[in-house]
Amino acid sequence: MGRRDTLGVTMDEMVHHTRMVSCAATNSLVVADLPFLSYQVTPEDALRNAGRLVAEAGAGAVKLEGPASKFGDSIAAILRAGIPVMGHIGLTPQSIKQFGGFKVQGRDPENRARLREEARGLEQAGCFAIVLECMPADLAAEITGDLGIPTIGIGAGSACDGQVLVLHDILGWGATRFAKTFGDVRALMRDACTSYIDEVKSGKFPAEEHTYK
């Protein structure tokens, strides 16, 4: 959407986008992100907003960022309503102001220990899976080995139980270290638009076969 980070995303926008995904999904679990300040203030807010993502948008589960030591009450409230919760630790995009930017997490012993403890805490709080983002691969492997629930890696190495990437990175729009371009759609779109502009300017398009009689 042209923004530099995720902090300005609203609940209404998440409901709108999640609904589109849910309508198209036929054999997938749709997990919707709870945006900034939708669950951090009170457990009641967390439950209400998680409920919107399920009831209005058709999500099968919700995801929230941060440890159970901070948001355990919100996780519990959501779970009591029968909504599955996925956790998210490491580089949590809603905390980039605190981190000072998009930086790898867990490189020093203190933060490695903290992230391992956060992962165990989220499992104990009832999360059915945890996203591990932007951390050393060996740390992600240790966390995966610690837990009885699946880990989903993004920039966290190959030892996680599953992987996720942003679609735009897969298609060539992104430039992050951990993203691989599987198809350069960006170049294809650029070339197609350039050709369109050139043919319009030269009068080659629209030709007779592109017009009605």
Catalytic residues: 133
Total count of residues recorded for the chain: 213
Is the Cβ–Cβ distance between 74 and 64 less than 8 Å?
A: yes
Q: Looking at the chain, which runs of residues are DSSP E strands?
A: 31-33, 61-63, 85-90, 129-133, 151-154, 162-163
Q: Tokens in use for 124?
A: 């104990």
Please state, as a whole number, how many other Cβ atoms lie within 10 Å of the Cβ of residue 104.
Answer: 18
What is d(CA 87, CA 118) in angstroms, rounded to the nearest whole number?
10
